[in-house]
Structure 1
Amino acid sequence: MEPKLISHSLDHSLTLEDHIYQVCRAAKYLVSQKSLNFNGISKEQIVELCTLTALCHDFGKSSLFFQEYIKSKRDGTEYGGSTRDKSHSLISAFFGWHITEKWISRNDELAEHWRLFLPLAVFLAIEGHHGRYKSIEDVLKSIDENYNLLKRQIDRIQPEIYEYESSGFKLSDGKDFNIGTIDSISGKIRRLNRKYGKINLDIQIEHRILALFLYSILLESDKAYLASDNPEQYERDPIDIPDDLVDRYLRTLDTDGDMNEERRRAYRQTISGVSRFPLTERIHSITLPTGLGKTLLSASWALKLRKRIGRGGEGVVPKIIVSLPFLSIIEQTDDVYRKFLDVLYEKYKDRLYMPRYSISDFEYRNGIDEEERSDNSVDFFLNIWNSEIIISTFDQLLYSLFSLKSKHLMRFHNLFNAIIVFDEIQALSSELWKPFEYFFKKLSEVGGTHILLMSATQPGFFPGAIERVPDHENYFKSRRRVNLHIKPENRSLESFIGDLPDLLNEHSDESLMIVLNTRDSSKSIYKKIEGMIDEKTILERPLIYLSSLVAPSQRTNRIIDIKRCIEKELNPIIVTTQCIEAGVDIDVDHIVRDWAPLDSIFQVCGRCNR
């Protein structure tokens, strides 16, 4: 029979059957690229579950209400029904639960806790695929508010939908779906909500990870064909990246001096171990003083680990995801990566390497074509992080775990089998330490993800992290470049302002940086110094202000100005906040820092006498 149900009104109508087939195909393709090791459920079962979710996700589009709406859109006529009547996610979620229960009944070997939870995981994925990921409480509220709507919709389901099938799954298995089924499922959700908190926390975390995996796979699959301007653009096969790119780049740099000898030694010792540790060890750390080249070291370490894992038997080649806390250092790191990727980046563009942060360019190029992409296509490929190496902020990466928004959770499945580098990990807010530890420890177990924690001042909140720099303590013992004077007296800002003339005089032949705790206090100090120095002096000894009050693009320019002034020995005066502390590559002679925790004091020491 010729299909009559429509899914989308595009340049040409896309049938519901074709769309569902496309989503099932994309879902199977995405999961096939993963190595999964959940307890009590096999990868093959997860592939089936993702296919089942894709097959059921638009069941509600077969209602007469939705078909009247989409055909009026296609024909350019006015839709006479209500917005609520044409909604389809909630009824599709109930149908997905119904089909999942039938699938579970055929899989006796599933662990009991999965038998209890998987119908809800499928329900939540389908219910939220056009909005946000909901809690059980939100779902129950939605059911109560929409019960009469569900009764109307279920009576207007068009029978054609039951003819659809994919990979051995048939929607005809759900022909017995009716309002009684919805009542029964609603009761099960309420009972699960009451007793779920008693389940072991470790199991709950594993449930959450698989549930978000299902959701993420569905979100990308649902848009994969619709958002690609041509099928070739949806290329997901890994790119071969030589693992000696950083080695080649380092040979082009000037490497004279004692500091560079230390860098070379740390690099050799750390890189030599990449081929030796068991791949079952997945939580790593690199702890080195500032100025010893951790950015290039970690990039080389990750590329060599990627190559080693790719040579394994599972055919999985990891993405490399680098996450940093501040825009000021992310742009600096972005510049380093572009330099060593060089001609390879020119060939593959964003398909190879993608910086994703608030002021990065809104464009996506993959080296396949140079045609202008639609905004819809660009937005899709940027949101799914379709690249081999991604650099982003802590915020953007953590949104991929803890946000409820679909545009963030769409990329969640890319965290599986990845190598994730957290640079300046000490900057992670302390209230996130426990969720971070629980989540990434479990992700490393079930998703084969390698986590690298990098810092000069490791906060130590992740037990079991294995240090990859042999004898790393010796690099700290040999450093005697900073004299630290701590004066713990309680002083007012006004008192400090009174001492500014003497401070500036005393260090007139040195570069000087004053680091304050708040933007307001830093602004006050800057304005006071500005009022003390005449225009001629400022030309000879520049005064530069830096904080989050400065626009990100201007912040980068000011860091470049600071470096230029230091190189020319102009002895600049820099007034800033803690945004200067972690990872910013500048070298100042003398620093005055507001009272702060010890790790912040150590971090700012890293900007002195490098």
Structure 2
Amino acid sequence: MYGLKIYAAHLRNATGKNNSAAEVQTVAEHLQNVSAIMGKNAEGMGVAALARLIGILHDLGKISEAFQRYIRHNFDHPDKKWPRGTVIHSTAGGAFLMERYGDLDELGVLETIQLAGLVIFSHHSPTGLLDFLSPEGKNLYQKRLESENSPKIDEVYFFHQVISPTDLDSLFHSAVKEVCSLAETIASCSKDVLETEAFYFGMTEKILYSLLIDADWLDSAAFSQGKNFAAMEQHWDTDAVWHNFSQKLENKIAGFQNRYPSNPITRARTKVSDEALGAASRPTGIYRLSAPTGSGKTYASMRFALHHALQKHKKHIFVILPYTSIIEQNARDIRNVLQAGEEILEYHSDMMVEDGEEVSEEEKNRTKLMAERWDVPIVFTTQVQFFNTLFAGCASAARRLWSLCDSVIILDEAQTIPVKCTYLFNQAMNYLADLQNDTIVLCTATQPSLGALRYPLNFAEHAEMLQDLSQAFTAFQRTKIEAELPLGGMHIDELAAEIVHETEREGNLLLICNLTKEARDLYDAARSIADEEGLQLEIDHLSTKLCPAHRRKILDRIKKYLGQKKPLLLISTQLIEAGVDISFASVYRVLAGCSSIAQAAGRCNRHGERQYGKVKIVSLENENLSYLPDIANGAQVTRDLLSTGTEADMLLQPEIIQKYFEAFYGRYTEAQKEYSLKSGITLLDLLACNDHGVQAFWEQGGEEETLPCFTQSFQKAGREFFVIDRNTVGILVPYEQGESYITFFDSEIPPWKTGELYKKMRQAQAYTINVFSWELNKLEENGAIWKTQAGIFALKEEYYDENIGIHFDIQKNDFCFI
């Protein structure tokens, strides 16, 4: 009887039996499971049938004698495995679709085949979605479609055990209807802008790929652990979560108001928070919370998000922040207020699943899976992780993408979005709002003018949550800003003397620099002046050349001194500008963009300790910002505003901030805002029309009937995308516990201690500093570093300074990158 035929999708050692025995997950079981998971997760996206179709066909190539020989051989001979790729099974499903339905002369048929086909072709690619068309004009979709390496499929098994021909045909035609409806929706939302239409289809393809990766990996993991896939998923009652958390936050806010009812700052924060709450009933869309520093944006934005999520039945709340340090602080504050447990996830490089004596292996696996899938109600993550989920060529990052749908996304400090990512960000947020029912909030004191660009961010009709911005900013004005920008700038020694004497008068002062070298030189000069004059003055330095554990210790000491009102001068790079709840009587800021000046002002008189604090903008001679174009352009626009009549104390007013950003973005070409590559191609084009690739296709004699309906170059874009410079290397430094980690990594580590090795690597991040290639070369030239047996660079003790961090003897390069 045919039903006795078994095709294995996965094998595992049978429980309680010898190693030669195998338990089988059949291809039928796996395809049906993945199809069901994808269909369930795609509900509300408008592509549920298309998702189920992809799931039911993705591993069709495993229904072949060739693949069965491969999987059985590798199970029976674990020490002599055939290499991955010996049997290419990932092309069969896409090819089958074209063979069965390609000749149908109906609207949407080819589009459906190709959208599903490329996802299936790509599902074993470690670099994410593959290309329809390469930038060089190669028709890679057609190449895979016509691959001669595809194994021969047992269609009898497929139609008897997996899905009947009638059901498959019905599913396919439902998918075609979805694609046609999708095309109409996209055309309407994109206002017939061809590039936007193509980008929206590309984003849909990315989400379909995300759905497949997640469902495939989930079901495979469930089988390997002897579970049903449904038992692996979290089943949150999100409406109950939103209701519970919103009530707890309301109680906390009421407590603030009752404790300090007459405090003007408390009243102003209450007004901001109440207006954010009032906006929660607005429709899904893209909004702005333009609130001054110190106005309680963290609680106000979360208040909006919880109530909006409850009213609109959203699945998740995402809080996107630029720096890890801000995540740690904000997530801790929100977790404490909401009394939350695993409903809140911090997802960044320093918060990975840790081994713990009290945690079972099953619990660790469950927690790890929640993090990998973003399968929790509230996620705090970094801009880097958020952008990687959207654009990076990495299957594990792409897996999370579908979780963004039908959610609230708060982008805190939105002005920090890299200029090169501007149009990618705008188009992606528009897509999520238009097609995936997302509500997006740009939360910052200095709103970038993203709605006035060639590819604008499409804000909601009543986008601003606060009713009177001028009144809000006036209520939180706790500083007076002045500027001293002499021709040529100030000498280091001149500025050092000024800040030392200003600290004497005011009691404490913060100076923020653009470059680490500036900060170090000013630190040395200030200490020399204080020593020469016999001043009892604590002088500290902060930069990214101090390891995180060291920085935290210095910050704790600074907060203690400020509380004790001891004389204190802190000289820092811009890492102090966001996410640090600290207040100085005076703040000096080396000339930068208005958004940086606003962040600096947020560290001055933060809690209204006096009527007004002093913020002074200064410039330094011979400052070279050529390697920091965003800072250089921002500084120039600020200088231009000041030189054309804008008073320094008006720089942070909303109308001036708007002028600032309009001028700031105007200093960049359109290509630069599209993420331009050295070749002249832009990532925006690769993810939309791929004009360069299409032109090359025609020039190479490509035939019109073979040109795919979609021409995106996903793989090329994914390989080229990065948020921050990738040319950095981590160096473990001998600061406090760092010494013991260096000793561990430089010893012989047996194979059975691999788990401990990875645990130590995660823990050692607090004692690790990322350096750029020129810095690494300098340290190597000086014999300052060596590579441990574990392959990790370590710094010699004499090259780490207690005050300034990594010490470079003679710096050949005056540039610093923050």
Identify which of 311, 318, 327 aligns with 1:308: 311
Q: CA deviation at 1:357?
A: 1.0
- Show structure 1 runs of 4+ deviating over 6 A: 143-148, 171-174, 535-538
CA separation in 2, counterparts of 1:373 and 1:536? Answer: 63
Q: Conserved in 2, the CA contact under 8 Å of 1:245 and 1:300?
A: no
In the alignment, is residue 47 of structure 1 matched against residue 56 of structure 2? no
The worse-fitting range, judged by mean Cα deviation, of 67-76 and 371-380 is 371-380
In the alignment, is residue 504 of structure 1 matched against residue 500 of structure 2? yes
Going from structure 1 to structure 2, the CA distance change for 1:361 and 1:268 (only over 3 Å counts) comes to same
The one-letter amino acid paired with 2:9 is: S
Sequence identity (%): 21
The one-letter amino acid paired with 1:325 is: P
Identify which of 405, 422, 428 aligns with 2:394: 405
Deviations 1:375-402 (A, max 9, x none): 7655443121010000111111111211
Going from structure 1 to structure 2, the CA distance change for 1:168 and 1:600 (only over 3 Å counts) comes to farther
CA separation in 2, counterparts of 1:523 and 1:379? Answer: 41
Where do residues 358-437 of structure 1 align in structure 2 (5 Å cutoff)? 358-362=349-353, 371-373=360-362, 378-437=367-426
Deviations 1:78-118 (A, max 9, x none): 6686643323223333234545658x87xx6xxx5x54433
The one-letter amino acid paired with 1:524 is: D
CA separation in 2, counterparts of 1:50 and 1:535? Answer: 73
Going from structure 1 to structure 2, the CA distance change for 1:145 and 1:216 (only over 3 Å counts) comes to closer
In the alignment, is residue 248 of structure 1 matched against residue 251 of structure 2? yes
SS at match of 1:9: strand
In the alignment, is residue 330 of structure 1 matched against residue 332 of structure 2? no
Identify which of 287, 290, 303 aligns with 2:290: 287
In the alignment, is residue 353 of structure 1 matched against residue 334 of structure 2? no
Aligned length: 549
Q: Conserved in 2, the CA contact under 8 Å of 1:65 and 1:81?
A: no
Going from structure 1 to structure 2, the CA distance change for 1:99 and 1:564 (only over 3 Å counts) comes to farther
In the alignment, is residue 469 of structure 1 matched against residue 466 of structure 2? yes
SS at match of 1:14: strand
Q: CA deviation at 1:575?
A: 1.7
CA separation in 2, counterparts of 1:546 and 1:167? Answer: 66
CA separation in 2, counterparts of 1:164 and 1:293? Answer: 58
CA separation in 2, counterparts of 1:530 and 1:61? Answer: 70
SS at match of 1:123: helix
Name the residue aligned to 1:2.
4
The one-letter amino acid paired with 1:121 is: L
Name the residue aligned to 1:123.
117
Q: TM-score, normalised by structure 2?
A: 0.62
SS at match of 2:287: strand
Name the residue aligned to 1:218.
212
CA separation in 2, counterparts of 1:291 and 1:299? Answer: 15
The one-letter amino acid paired with 2:93 is: S
Q: CA deviation at 1:263?
A: 0.9
Name the residue aligned to 2:598.
602
CA separation in 2, counterparts of 1:484 and 1:415? Answer: 40
Deviations 1:479-523 (A, max 9, x none): 442121212235467x12344134212322422111111223223
Q: Conserved in 2, the CA contact under 8 Å of 1:565 and 1:572?
A: yes
Name the residue aligned to 1:587.
583
Note the residue ranges of structure 1 that are not aligned, 5 or more in a row.
37-42, 175-197, 311-316
CA separation in 2, counterparts of 1:263 and 1:167? Answer: 62
Q: CA deviation at 1:453?
A: 0.6
Deviations 1:175-195 (A, max 9, x none): xxxxxxxxxxxxxxxxxxxxx
CA separation in 2, counterparts of 1:489 and 1:461? Answer: 33
Going from structure 1 to structure 2, the CA distance change for 1:425 and 1:100 (only over 3 Å counts) comes to farther
Deviations 1:446-486 (A, max 9, x none): 11110101111111213535001121220113444212121
CA separation in 2, counterparts of 1:378 and 1:478? Answer: 44
CA separation in 2, counterparts of 1:57 and 1:147? Answer: 14
Name the residue aligned to 1:235.
234
Going from structure 1 to structure 2, the CA distance change for 1:440 and 1:100 (only over 3 Å counts) comes to farther
In the alignment, is residue 208 of structure 1 matched against residue 219 of structure 2? no
Where do residues 267-282 of structure 1 align in structure 2 (5 Å cutoff)? 267-275=273-281, 277=282, 279-280=283-284, 282=285
Going from structure 1 to structure 2, the CA distance change for 1:358 and 1:80 (only over 3 Å counts) comes to closer
Name the residue aligned to 2:74.
73
CA separation in 2, counterparts of 1:167 and 1:199? Answer: 41
Going from structure 1 to structure 2, the CA distance change for 1:451 and 1:143 (only over 3 Å counts) comes to closer
CA separation in 1, counterparts of 2:94 and 2:493? Answer: 63
Where do residues 143-182 of structure 1 align in structure 2 (5 Å cutoff)? 150-155=147-152, 160-166=157-163
Going from structure 1 to structure 2, the CA distance change for 1:597 and 1:567 (only over 3 Å counts) comes to same
Q: Conserved in 1, the CA contact under 8 Å of 2:412 and 2:443?
A: yes
Name the residue aligned to 1:194.
none
Going from structure 1 to structure 2, the CA distance change for 1:421 and 1:172 (only over 3 Å counts) comes to closer
Going from structure 1 to structure 2, the CA distance change for 1:533 and 1:63 (only over 3 Å counts) comes to farther
CA separation in 2, counterparts of 1:167 and 1:471? Answer: 62
CA separation in 2, counterparts of 1:449 and 1:586? Answer: 34
Going from structure 1 to structure 2, the CA distance change for 1:154 and 1:536 (only over 3 Å counts) comes to farther
Name the residue aligned to 2:58.
57
Name the residue aligned to 2:766.
none
CA separation in 2, counterparts of 1:383 and 1:544? Answer: 39
Going from structure 1 to structure 2, the CA distance change for 1:173 and 1:31 (only over 3 Å counts) comes to closer
Note the residue ranges of structure 2 that are not aligned, 5 or more in a row.
14-22, 172-191, 452-457, 607-818
The one-letter amino acid paired with 2:346 is: P
Deviations 1:110-146 (A, max 9, x none): xx5x544332221221122122212223595767987
Q: Conserved in 2, the CA contact under 8 Å of 1:162 and 1:170?
A: no
Where do residues 432-471 of structure 1 align in structure 2 (5 Å cutoff)? 432-462=421-451, 464-465=459-460, 466-471=463-468
The one-letter amino acid paired with 1:67 is: Q
Where do residues 69-108 of structure 1 align in structure 2 (5 Å cutoff)? 69-76=70-77, 83-98=84-99, 101=102
CA separation in 1, counterparts of 2:39 and 2:70? Answer: 30
Q: CA deviation at 1:422?
A: 0.4
Q: Conserved in 2, the CA contact under 8 Å of 1:65 and 1:156?
A: no
CA separation in 2, counterparts of 1:2 and 1:326? Answer: 57
Q: CA deviation at 1:572?
A: 2.5
CA separation in 1, counterparts of 2:287 and 2:512? Answer: 32
Going from structure 1 to structure 2, the CA distance change for 1:100 and 1:444 (only over 3 Å counts) comes to farther
Q: CA deviation at 1:443?
A: 1.7
The worse-fitting range, judged by mean Cα deviation, of 411-420 and 257-266 is 257-266
Q: Conserved in 2, the CA contact under 8 Å of 1:244 and 1:300?
A: no
Q: Conserved in 2, the CA contact under 8 Å of 1:526 and 1:575?
A: yes
Compute the RMSD of aligned alpha carbons. 3.3
CA separation in 2, counterparts of 1:536 and 1:561? Answer: 24
The one-letter amino acid paired with 2:315 is: P
CA separation in 2, counterparts of 1:489 and 1:252? Answer: 49
Q: Conserved in 1, the CA contact under 8 Å of 2:289 and 2:444?
A: yes
Q: CA deviation at 1:370?
A: 5.9
Going from structure 1 to structure 2, the CA distance change for 1:384 and 1:553 (only over 3 Å counts) comes to farther
SS at match of 1:92: helix
The one-letter amino acid paired with 1:362 is: V
Q: Conserved in 2, the CA contact under 8 Å of 1:323 and 1:394?
A: yes
SS at match of 2:566: coil
Name the residue aligned to 1:21.
32
In the alignment, is residue 543 of structure 1 matched against residue 542 of structure 2? no
